[in-house]
Amino acid sequence: MRPVNSKEQILIASDLHELKLWLFMAPNELSTAAVRRLIEMAGADRVGDDAVEELGKILEDFAVKVGKEATELARHAGRKTVKAQDIQLAIKRVPPP
């Protein structure tokens, strides 16, 4: 068994679902190349590494919050499967970053 670090202790004190998400999600689930392309698609000629990292963190955090809300909506509807309608409603319910 591996030792528990301080970040894990905080999450253990939080709810179990968040702990599962944190343990199984890589630090940067979105690739830096994908985030860089999104910024370039928005019109940037040049993109700094710090901008890519910051937007990646914001997008990942928002996506996890939306996914969690969508999961709760699906469970409330008696389903285990998260559907597009759950995501669409969750987007309206989760405050933007």
| pLDDT one-digit tens code per residue, 55-67 | 999 999 999 999 9
- In this predicted structure, the answer to whether residue 15 has a pLDDT above a threshold of 70 is no
How confident is the model at residue 13, as a pLDDT? Answer: 45
- 56's tokens: 């990646």
* Non-local CB neighbours of 68 within 8 Å, separated by 6+ positions: 17, 18, 21
Q: Which pTM was predicted?
A: 0.70
How confident is the model at residue 28, as a pLDDT? Answer: 75
Tens digits of residue pLDDT in 28-44 = 788 999 999 999 999 99
- 73's tokens: 């909506």
